[in-house]
Amino acid sequence: MDVISVIRAKRDGKALTDEQIDWVIDAYTHGAVADEQMSALAMAILLNGMTRAEIARWTAAMIASGERMDFSTLTRPTADKHSTGGVGDKITLPLAPLVAACGAAVPQLSGRGLGHTGGTLDKLEAIPGWRATLTNSELLATLESAGAVICAAGDGLAPADKKLYALRDVTGTVESVPLIASSIMSKKIAEGTGSLVLDVKVGSGAFMKTLDDARELAATMVGLGNDNGVRTVALLTDMSTPLGRTAGNALEVRESLDVLAGGGPADVVELTLALAREMLTAAGLPDADPAKALADGSAMDHWRRMITAQGGDPDAPLPQARERHTVHAAASGTLARMDAYDVGLAAWRLGAGRAHKEDPVQAGAGVEMHAKPGDPVTEGQPLLTLHTDTPEKFPYALAALTGAYAIGGEAAPQRCIVLDRIA
């Protein structure tokens, strides 16, 4: 078998055979298929799609490329959550310790930024000393001591996905439903969690722009999970406006700490609690009260244990960018709109994301929003603050924000954060 015939088959709109899928995933994992060849195949998949049978086989091949974890020795039920990616989406940070405080174990294997969307690991690496890479024994020990762990998938867990994940980020193939679904679910199934809640984002700042596309992705992933013995449910959530008031790594950690301290932006708190309730129900703990765990400080206690167990200093000052630029309101009125994609693109251009898979990110870079849609603003007041270590990036970020917001007589009606539920 050769990779050119596989690429041509998908280029021409044909369904790949089980043998072709198994071979190309194994060959790519072991270096017999080059990045440029897999890039061509990924683009063909994005353009021509895959059948459900192809997606299931592609996912199985990704799982088979590595090991599978086992959490049966834990005394708590396991529950995990995955977001398809958004702007200002720092939900995992307060959510994992919150669910742990309510009695579940949360083995949260997370990723890095993709395109204009932020990555949980990039955010947490803004904390001095914190490390994303743990051995399996360290992961289990942290789950026992802190109840939650947020870390990178080990090299042995779906290694095919680890290579393809980074490649998709820099080849314009992130948005493919088959590649998103198989990437997420191969890791989650191999991870061994007992239950999984998916946060499928919808809107301008998400990879899925419409409810129909988001439902297709959610249904595909829910089916893959349940077919493989993982209790899986999905929430479709709004990503037309950035979550919270920050987009950027250290900025979002700071905002997450506000939530764990009992404050924080209302939309971040609302979604954190909604996902926590779904996770606890799926884990068999429907009577647990996550709102109480936020209010009484127990979620913060679990956060501190989790960060400390992974080498981080929960009391250390977070990095701040060396340069700032403030955008002021040009008129008085109501902030009618703040577009999630444009804000995410600006944060990416400031250094919060990467253009090449080897690129570092700036811990302090990002965008701070001083108003949300529906808020009254006065001419001349600060509307946005841009943060970066490289001030020559300001013009490019400002160009991304040219049409990002509008001030008018009244704001457009805001959608509910949770738009639908797929079980």
- Catalytic annotation present for 161: yes
Name the active-site residue from 81, 123, 168, 305: 168
Q: Which runs of consecutive H residues, i.e. helices, occur in 147-248?
A: 159-169, 177-191, 211-227
- Catalytic annotation present for 116: no
- Catalytic annotation present for 82: yes
Name the active-site residue from 80, 161, 238, 339: 161
SS3 state of residue 376:
strand
Name the active-site residue from 116, 162, 187, 201: 187
Name the active-site residue from 65, 176, 183, 256: 183
* DSSP conformation letters of 104-143: -BEEEEE---BTTB--HHHHHTTSTT--S---HHHHHHHH
Q: Are 412 and 373 in contact (CB under 8 A)?
A: yes
Question: Look-up: residue for tokens 């797929």?
Answer: 422
188 CB burial (10 A radius; 0-12, 13-18, 19+): buried
| Maximum alpha-carbon separation in the chain | 66
- Catalytic annotation present for 231: no
Name the active-site residue from 57, 81, 82, 354: 82
* Residues 261, 232: Cα–Cα separation, whole Å: 30
- Catalytic annotation present for 163: no
User: Residue-wise over 386-412: b if at least 16 C-beta within 10 A, else e?
Assistant: bbbbeeebbeebbebbeebbbbeeebe
Question: Look-up: residue for tokens 């870390």?
Answer: 151
Q: Are 337 and 298 in contact (CB under 8 A)?
A: no
- For 203-299, strand residue ranges (E) read 231-238, 246-248
| Residues designated catalytic | 82, 161, 168, 183, 187
